[in-house]
Structure 1
């Protein structure tokens, strides 16, 4: 290994720059999976310069100063919160705390200021401010406080999502007299490497980096990158490495020092991508390199670091941030959509190892996160009053331009031809951003037109939730009530049979062709209970289609009667059941089910009940509940499970994505899940489902209850063809906090259909023609 590293280092130093950057681009592309380089990221942040005092005197720095040049040694908490609130209002997600190394060691003014407020050290005050920023604004602190001990890192874990410490260089020479770090003991390479190692032991996601052009040699630059590589191999905690170019500043001892040449700088950027493990991002500051942004992309970077819409770069105040839209256009032209991320990188958010995020800060991170651990695309969540960000003309909210990888077109072509996609291909579709995501949406809508034509269908139905009392404790459910869960929006209830029948008669009188019956798993219910509900409804309304009983209820009914599921389903069919809702599916992956509904059916059990229903002649719908703990790989597995079942039995009438409405969900209230899917994810679920289920399930339904009518209309332009039912009474989403009401008029459905240039058509539950009553 040492020989291999030595040879690679020699090649990086001697090979033509074009060859080095080409290899870096290839390494970056390999990180992106099937679609190649997937994205460029950045963190929208607010910059909080907590103190400009520092124990060190680096000869290139204009950030650090003396007490006599400051109104106060530190920002007050009120000043900190004012900056943070402005950042939150502007859409920032990161609060970057920047300060010098332990200024209390050098300045009495710093010691006195801290002591007057009850703090012994600067890092104690940093922790206090970060805690308040987190609690009062929700911004995720990222702390650059210089060299810290392991105990310091552990103390920061509950209040800081990530921490940063630039290595800068491993050259001891830079500490010599006349060199840039003379008089700066905290810049000793061994000390900084020890601090970075301490962060690894403390399980803190870290940012580090190298500073190029401060007197180090080309050989020493590679040594610094290798030192960071070795640290990460040991601890796994580096999330990004910044390759920053020194820029001489007036008023410093290095004001006339030459900068590193562009070729030398780009060589180090490319070397970082080649030497560092794939999971470590490589970043270069765009405000210091505005004239060579494309060249940096070509050298292999995948991240731009933090960019603030509110504050300047206090370390480099002479270099303004680039306009994000301009940066977006530059990235898009290179086939790399620009995507917001959090200060903590995705693998620390979504990975199976939960130890990287302290339990105290994880809920704050999850509120900002999407299914990939990146930043949410807007403030929208399912069920909120706010209008969806997308429109019928731009379902994703914007129409991004840029080249699209040929590999994506191959996947889309396979889907359009009805072939079964692989899990990695479906994951790749869900992961698309920018122009690639736009291509997926357009392909899905074209396929919808081919398969379903230009009509939008709906059913006139009524929901009857006969009880909300349930023995299960699903962590997402705000509808079901037990003695321990009562007291949110609704009280426990159990309708008697006459009330159920009366509601069915009312539905028929209002033109309903279907009644949908579902409820909690009441502790006193047996299989006979469900049969009695069914018989009561059919006796009251013989011609009404009864769409009833989730697979969980069917399983419960069969178990209580001591009979096989198949025999019980046949009894229900013979008693007049017309079809089953394919609910209780949630996510058909047991690693997620064990977390959100451990006492429910397993994936295999759910598929068995639904498949058995099909075999006895009972069609079902199919669903997914998404936007909580699962990732896009789980979405892919879920879709494949449904596709394979349908190819086997053919009994699924439609697929219905159900975005989590989070507001009253118990696991959200406990800080354990995300805020439902983002708008982009909601659109992509409908679009990717259209593609992945093509040739198996032809109808993709959208839930106006979760998306709002405007959101539902936008999704009709992204592969959906059905608006579901008018519902009349809808309790489950309302109990979870949805604001879109319990019913919708046919006029509203027609308006949604016509907004995408399509006609509205009533259907039966099983997609048959509705025969009008004779005059």
Structure 2
């Protein structure tokens, strides 16, 4: 007996529970929204307490038909579930002829084979992630099921062979032998399968035997890292079973065992207890150290414990919040496995996991996605008590903690950002009348998120490849000026034939015609490529563009300023240091710029924190950023989403948190936080304005990049529409220039009631007669400074 086990056995219950609560590692308590699919209730075992398993009945099918399986799964998907929990008896075909015959008629040789077929159909046709509990499995059976499941499980229940003796609860149940169940768990670890296990208390075991079972699970989990959660389940006597008269597990014993499990396993383990088996006492389970409520279904009953309905999610939320914790939905596998899918999840299942997950690796809270015209899932409270925070207090760990906020804590983050916005910016909300001009959609870089660029490396493309002639760029700029614009924003793909002279020609042509319009143009990648093709330093090239008429740079091509992420989404683009180097050079030569951040694809909150901190460091050095602009990833047509390599954009809560936390973390060095109405929509804008935002960006007139990615929002939000949105949020609209000055009165007047746009000319790129150079310049191959 180890020293720790000895201490646990003699510790007073209150002390043990207090220690367990202190070991709980997160302020989040999770649950899995699921459907329960009892594929078969036949089982070769005859456990003394089970009402789930029963022998064949005349006129009843031995197995649930696949159409019925899919019907249940679809109802769960419609109700917002993410997990399909398949529960079934152990190898019934080894005991019952009816099972063997029905399997043969279905075309399968075993229950496991039929389970693999049904789970695969659910995964492919409904998007739910299967979690499989078929009992004892061989290596071959585990390998068969891995490509159709996100996780699996088997309850160890006990390590006491005594309970399998004649008359015991596991008598005549060969699959309940502790050794064979431990072997299944071990094999799952060797195969890197996220796994669930646990113990059943109150069936005649001793406290020491419970701790021995927990120790066995701890040893296997520490060896392989695959035991994602441990369940402490309490016995409830059921009529019609051999143990119908056996007393239920005492609730104090349940609390003791949960607390003992937390202390024995430590803070790094997920610990679950079924709330429905505690009835009205379920909130007290939190006091013993659990961090998970298990699966809760809005659609199906608990078929193993049909007498015990699950508490409604809102009751779970209230009980969790009452203890200063927040409830969060999860997937059937935990975030640490989602963060390393290549190791833990079969390639066939990874796309489904990514589509269903948020940035924390939990289940998405809602069905909102950037660019979709759907109702926002929640409204920001205007009366929450703000957190007391300043930018100097926020390092990497603090920022990640804020990004993880849920429930009332999240509302307090929003309130803190809104209060700071009011102190710094007042109630004015600014916007600029601008025209976006994307001069080509041909690009030789292979960004996985881009649905706009056209070229040999792009897939799922919209429309033909085009190149806008210089005279058409000038015409659009003139038209924008006539419609009240004070800015034109120019950027596009990088055609293989482009050199730095192309960008110089664009600036010169516009400035020759429009001496007073602000030219806001060229991403860091375009600037870097332009300088490299001419053999100029960044300072030299940017000074040349400035002298020709360039006024400022957009902050695009930043994506995430973290090279771990950039290696996945834009490996041949400028690095983090190169992006910052371009903007540092721009600020040195007197050009202002902004900084964007694209979130909701493959990155995590730690990467958001890195991006914001690098932004803050750069601003402290050069001081040239005018605003920070979070850009929610629009997934619908993005190649990496269509290939199953990215999430479905940020959740609505994540999108608002990034704006709010940016307001707090960048204070006081960047005072303007902008929201993209193209990505988040008018209803989302109203909520963002209560979460630290003071700027709505530009009216755009034309917008192609987000539209190409699948955004449904319009190409223009006219000044009257922009101001209506602002006023509907109780704020005061103000037109601005690019650098937050006051635009000429005549331009403001022109912008209201402007004439419709003429049809833009986008001639095919082949008409330009451009020739691809022998060698393409990419970042890292040429030094420009």
* TM-score tier (shorter): over 0.9
CA distance in 2 between counterparts of 1:426 and 1:272 reads 31
Name the residue aligned to 2:98. Answer: 109
The correspondence for 2:351, drawn from 354, 363, 373, is 363
> Which contiguous aligned blocks of 4+ residues in structure 1 show a shift greater than 3 angstroms?
none
Matches of 1:629 and 1:124 in 2, distance apart?
Answer: 34
Q: Which residue of 1 aligns with 2:756?
A: none
How far apart, CA to CA, are the structure 2 residues paired with 1:116 and 1:772? 81
SS at match of 1:157: helix
Q: Which moved more, 1:512-521 or 1:65-74?
A: 65-74
Q: Which residue of 1 aligns with 2:138?
A: 149
| 1:150–1:201 contact (8 Å) kept in structure 2 | no
3-state SS in 2 of match to 1:97? strand
Q: How does 1:56-75 map to 2 (within 5 A)?
A: 56-68=45-57, 71-75=60-64
Q: Give how far 1:297 is off.
A: 0.4
Distance 2:682 2:284 in 1: 45
Matched ranges for 1:396-415 at <5 A = 412-415=387-390
State whether structure 2 residue 212 is matched by structure 1 residue 216: no
Quick check: 1:346–1:372 contact (8 Å CA) kept in 2? yes
Q: Tell me, yes or no, if the aligned pair for 1:726 and 1:745 is still in contact at 8 Å.
A: yes
1:175-213 deviation digits (Å, cap 9, x = unpaired): 111110010010000110001001111110000000000
Q: 1:69: Cα distance to partner?
A: 6.2
Matched residue SS, 2:148: coil
- Secondary structure, counterpart of 1:158 in structure 2: helix
Which residue in the other structure is 1:372 paired with? 360
CA contact (8 A) 1:421 1:692 kept: yes
| Equivalence for 2:779 | none
- Structure 1 position 12, deviation (Å): 0.9
1:389, CA displacement in angstroms? 2.0
Asked if 1:759 is matched to 2:757, the reply is no
**Residue aligning to 2:769:** none
Which whole-Å deviations, capped at 9, do the CAs of 1:290-312 have from their partners, x for residues lacking one? 22222210000000000111111
For 1:770, what is the secondary structure of its paired residue?
coil
Matching residue of 1:35: none
Note the residue ranges of structure 1 that are not aligned, 5 or more in a row: 33-37
Give 1:15 shift. Answer: 1.0
Cross-structure match for 2:634: 661
Quote the residue 1:738 is aligned against.
711
Query: Partner of 1:346 in structure 2?
Result: 335
Distance 1:508 1:44 in 2: 53
TM-superposed CA distance for 1:90, in Å, is 1.1
Shift of 1:420: 5.3
- In structure 2, the partner of 1:296 is 285
2:381 and 2:137 mapped to 1: Cα distance?
A: 48
CA distance in 2, matches of 1:600, 1:359: 27
Contact 1:232–1:238 at 8 Å: present in 2 too? yes
3-state SS of paired residue (2:565): helix
* Distance in 2 separating the partners of 1:580 and 1:302: 47
Give SS of 2:490's match: strand
Deviation at 1:748, TM superposition (A): 1.6
SS of residue matched to 1:143: strand
2:684 is the alignment partner of 1:724: no
Counterpart of 2:248 in structure 1 is 259
Determine the structure 2 residue equivalent to 1:434: 407
Q: Is the 8 A contact 2:452 2:461 kept in 1?
A: no
Which one of 642, 648, 659 corresponds to residue 686 of structure 1?
659
Say whether 1:618 aligns with 2:591. yes
Are 1:633 and 2:606 an aligned pair?
Answer: yes
Q: Which residue of 1 aligns with 2:228?
A: 239
Q: Matched residues in 2 for 1:597 and 1:330: separation?
A: 44
Q: Please report how far the alpha carbon of residue 279 of structure 1 lies from its aligned counterpart in structure 2 after TM superposition.
A: 3.0
The equivalent of 2:742 in structure 1 is 769
Find the aligned partners of 2:539 and 2:140 in 1 and give their Cα distance: 60
Tell me the CA shift for residue 262 of structure 1.
1.9
Q: Which residue of 1 aligns with 2:578?
A: 605
SS of the counterpart of 2:294?
A: strand
Q: CA RMSD in A?
A: 1.4
Q: How many residues in Structure 1 have an aligned counterpart in Structure 2?
A: 748
Q: 1:433 to 1:486 in 2, by over 3 A?
A: closer
Question: 1:9 maps to what in 2?
Answer: 5
How many angstroms apart in 2 are the aligned matches of 1:636 and 1:10? 43
- Which secondary structure state, in structure 1, belongs to the residue aligned with residue 290 of structure 2? coil
Is the CA contact 1:383–1:706 (under 8 Å) kept in the aligned structure 2? yes
Aligned-residue offset at 1:278: 3.0
* TM-score of the superposed pair, with normalisation by structure 2: 0.94
Q: Gapped runs of 5+ residues in structure 2?
A: 750-785
Q: Which residue of 1 aligns with 2:376?
A: 388
Distance 2:133 2:257 in 1: 23
Asked if 1:189 corresponds to 2:195, the answer is: no
- Contact 1:171-1:216 within 8 A present in 2 as well: yes
What is the Cα deviation at residue 259 of structure 1? Answer: 2.0
Deviations 1:442-481 (A, max 9, x none): 0000000001110000000000001111010100001111
Q: Distance in 1 between matches of 2:632 and 2:204?
A: 55
- Kept in 2, the 8 Å contact 1:96–1:142? The answer is yes
Q: Matches of 2:505 and 2:372 in 1, distance apart?
A: 37
* Structure 1 match to 2:322: 333
Superposition deviation, residue 488 in structure 1: 2.0
Distance 1:571 1:420 in 2: 40
CA distance in 1, matches of 2:457, 2:567: 21
Of 143, 155, 161, the match for 2:150: 161
2:514 aligned partner: 541
Shift of 1:518: 0.3
Question: In 2, distance between residues paired with 1:73 and 1:207?
Answer: 26
Match of 2:84 among 68, 92, 95: 95
The alignment status of 1:26 with 2:1, answered yes or no, reads: no
- 1:654 partner SS: strand
| Residue of structure 2 aligned with 1:491, choices 440, 464, 467 | 464
Distance (Å, rounded) in 2 between the aligned partners of 1:536 and 1:420: 47
Q: For 2:43, which of 51, 54, 67 is the aligned residue?
A: 54
Contact 2:430 2:697 in 1 (8 A): yes
Q: CA deviation at 1:326?
A: 1.2
Q: Describe the shift of the 1:205–1:69 C-alpha distance in structure 2 as closer, same or farther (beyond 3 A).
A: farther
Deviation at 1:386, TM superposition (A): 1.3
Q: Assess if the C-alpha contact under 8 Å between 1:46 and 1:311 holds in 2.
A: yes
Contact 1:213 1:246 in 2 (8 A): yes
SS of structure 2 residue aligned to 1:225: helix
SS, match of residue 523 in structure 1: coil
